[in-house]
Structures are given as structure tokens and as C-alpha cells.
Amino acid sequence: MSTEPRNGPDALLVVDGLRKTYPLPGRGRLTAADDVSFSVAPGGSLGIVGESGSGKTTVARMLVGLVRPDAGTVTVDGRPRSPRPPRRRQARLARAREVQMVFQDPYISLDPRLTAAQCLRTTLRLHGRDEATAVRLLERVGLGEREADARPRQLSGGQRQRLAIARALAVQPRVLVLDEAVAALDVSIQAQILQLLDTIRRDTGVALVFVSHDLAVVQHVTDDVLVMHRGSVVEQGPTQRVLAEPAHDYTRLLLAAVPREGWDPEGAVPARA
């Protein structure tokens, strides 16, 4: 898999030259993302990393269609995604099956009135799938009978995130975008969810895009990584190579900020300044 734009038969998601600007108060515009290009193979996984404000969420939202790009294209399985949701219901559902997103806080995206099983059945019905699949989906994400009958507020943070992943999978998406999806969870629960996602991508061929400020998260679950700084991609390539031999100063700074054995916070802070 390569992070360069590529239109070969093995590229499932191809992103080419995405750009987004926002008006600044007064005059001028802020460039939130500039000339972002990458591709992901079926069953591949890409990390988008950078500090707060680097433009990661803007890119994620352009992939899924929540933000309209100023320029650039997103192609899934050879089909360019239209910048706006189509009017026709069937076309809208087909578009939803291309890219699904899991957010940091599933409280916002899950309906508080529905039990986990009802949530999945509703999504399955909407997409014309067998509602009985809900049981299998719950099993797949490690939720049992008790959780099936629970509403979001009765679930733990990790269980809610498992439900959000199950709901996204109910649509059978080609691409799953995870925007800081494990950031709010304990490290041990994070590891379980990341392991689950890794198994799912190997079993189903769904392509994963992990948006994270946390290099430790992308290190373990991505093939390739793209480092963003102030809206621009400063470095991209195989995750192991980029993290072991960062070519850009900014990537080195990000790595220096990760606590590990022998880590020196007193060295990391002045380096950032």
C-alpha cells in the first residue's frame, strides 16, 4: 500500500489534492487542509496524525462528506464521491455504504432512546439488510445479551464505542473513518478496541482511516501514516519507517512528546517551543 495518490486496481480509497479554507474574522482565510493526497488498499489502514488544529478532523470530515472541500477529490472503489449528498434515497444510502465514521464521543451519535439491539436493527432495516444480523454484529464487537438490551447510558465508554463500531459495520462500508475514536478510553480498553478493529479489517476487507493525535495508537494499527502540520502534509509513508526514521523535524517533535522509557519531558518541552 502507498500513501501517494494511486489509481491502481488495488486502491480502494483515493484522495487527491483535498483543500479546505475557512474565513477568518475580519479578512483573509485560514487554510485548514491543503493539497492532501493519499490512497488506501482494501483491508489497509492509514493513520492521520498531528497536533490539535493541524487539520486532521477537517480531512476526516471531507472523506465522509460532512465538510465540502474547496478543491480535490475522494474516490471510493473507482467512483468519485459527489461533494453534496444526493437527493434520491437509494443514492444517499449507497453513498453511506462507501464511507462510515466513528466519532470520539458515541454519546452524540447514538440515539439515547434505543437499546443496542434496536439501534442496530434500525440501521440494518434502513439499508435493506436482515435485522437478525444484529445479534451477529453485537457478537462481532464483543457485546453480549445484557448489552443488547441496554441503552447507551447503561453502557461503559468502551461498550458504547463497540456499539458505534457495530452500527457503522451494519452498513457494510468499504471505508471506516475513526476520528479520535479511542481517545477518551482507558489505555487497556483502547488496546481491546484497536485489536477488534484490526481483526475486523482483516476479516472483512474494510479500509480503516485512523485520525489521532496519539502516535502510540497509529503505531500499532496502521500500515501507513500521514503527518499533518498547520493544514499541510509534512511527511507520509509506511508507519514503521516514518516512526523509526522520521524525515521531518515536526515528526521528530511529535515523537519526542510521546512518553516512553528514558523519556525526558524537560527536553521535549523546550524543543517544541
The site for ligand ATP (CB under 6 A) is made up of 22, 30, 32, 50, 52-58, 213
b/e string for 68-78 if b means 16 or more Cβ within 10 A?
ebbebebbbee
Nearest approach, Cβ of residue 90 and ligand ATP (Å): 30
Stretch (H or E) spanning 255? helix 249-256
Nearer to ligand ATP, 45 or 57 (CB): 57
Nearest approach, Cβ of residue 57 and ligand ATP (Å): 3
Nearest approach, Cβ of residue 235 and ligand ATP (Å): 15
Nearer to ligand ATP, 30 or 256 (CB): 30
Nearest approach, Cβ of residue 251 and ligand ATP (Å): 15
Nearest approach, Cβ of residue 182 and ligand ATP (Å): 14
Q: Which residue is nearest to ligand ATP (CB)?
A: 57
**192 contacts: CB under 8 Å, gap ≥ 6:** 142, 158
Compute the distance between CA of residue 59 and CA of residue 32 in angstroms, rounded to an integer.
9
In this structure, the strands spanning 207-212 and 45-49 are parallel
Nearer to ligand ATP, 23 or 267 (CB): 23
C-alpha cell at 259: 512518553
Nearer to ligand ATP, 62 or 96 (CB): 62
Nearer to ligand ATP, 18 or 170 (CB): 18
In this structure, the strands spanning 232-238 and 175-179 are unpaired
As to burial, measured by CB atoms within 10 angstroms (0-12 exposed, 13-18 middle, 19+ buried), residue 267 is exposed
